[in-house]
């Protein structure tokens, strides 16, 4: 079935398109893909990407190549919380690989897999712009920095209990983890 944006989203898209010349409508693609991901179940299906292409008069391939390039877009259903661990140089040097291994062992799933309870998906992503606080992961709008096994344990427990929300905007790197509910730091 072809997905359909809500009338409110369609109206927001029309406003968004007015920011760009008609011949440059592709410039609105990134924000519209974010809207599609938010409105169509947390990921971009082939059908939803085709739908976005039709709204912008683009070829579907033009949408696929953008959606597959950026790791913030999920191409299949994910868990409620997507744990996106930075794997770029500075985080790699400070132990990101160990954190990924620890998450895999703790949750019993591999990269890009979701736990059977539907709560967690583990992904690796490129630099999250918090290079001085690695290893770092992003979950929703929340950063969890200076990761250790203990911090991972605290974070998972807080997410499971609902004490930590992944959509709580966090204003500054230095307080991100505390803002996200780490009582031990």
Residues in contact with ligand FES by CB under 6 A are 86, 88-91, 127-131, 134, 136
CA max distance for the chain: 53
Nearer to ligand FES, 29 or 128 (CB): 128
Distance CA 45, CA 59 (A): 16
Nearer to ligand FES, 45 or 146 (CB): 146
User: Measured from the CB of residue 87, what is the shortest distance to ligand FES in angstroms?
Assistant: 8
CB of 145 to ligand FES, least distance (A): 9
Minimum distance of ligand FES from residue 134's CB (angstroms)? 5
CA angle, residues 22, 26, 30, in degrees to nearest 5 = 135
The secondary structure of the chain in percent helix, strand, coil, rounded to multiples of 5, reads 45, 10, 45
Using CB atoms within 10 Å of the CB of residue 173, give its burial: 0 to 12 exposed, 13 to 18 middle, 19+ buried. middle
Beta carbon of residue 124, minimum distance to ligand FES (angstroms, whole number): 11
> Which segments within the chain are labelled E, that is strand?
81-86, 120-125, 137-139, 142-144
Say how far apart CA 87 and CA 11 lie, in whole Å: 38
Minimum gap (Å) between residue 86 Cβ and ligand FES: 3
DSSP 8-class letter at 133 = G
> Nearer to ligand FES by C-beta: 42 or 90?
90
């Amino acid at each position: 079935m072809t997905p359909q944006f809500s009338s409110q989203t369609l109206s927001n898209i029309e406003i968004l398109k007015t920011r760009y010349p008609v011949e440059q409508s592709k410039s609105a693609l990134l924000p519209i893909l974010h809207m599609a991901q938010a409105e169509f179940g947390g990921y971009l299906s082939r059908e939803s990407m085709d739908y976005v292409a039709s709204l912008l008069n683009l070829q579907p391939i033009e949408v696929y190549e953008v959606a597959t390039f950026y790791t913030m877009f999920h191409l299949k259903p994910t868990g409620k919380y997507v744990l996106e661990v930075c794997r770029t140089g500075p985080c790699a040097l400070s132990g990101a690989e160990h954190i990924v291994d620890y998450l895999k062992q703790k949750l019993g799933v591999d990269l890009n897999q979701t736990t059977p309870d539907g709560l967690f998906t583990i992904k690796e992503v490129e630099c999250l712009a918090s290079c001085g606080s690695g290893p770092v992961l992003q979950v929703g709008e929340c950063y969890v920095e200076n990761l250790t096994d203990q911090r991972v344990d605290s974070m998972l427990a807080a997410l499971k209990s609902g004490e930590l929300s992944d959509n709580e905007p966090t204003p500054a790197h230095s307080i991100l983890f505390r803002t996200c509910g780490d009582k031990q730091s």
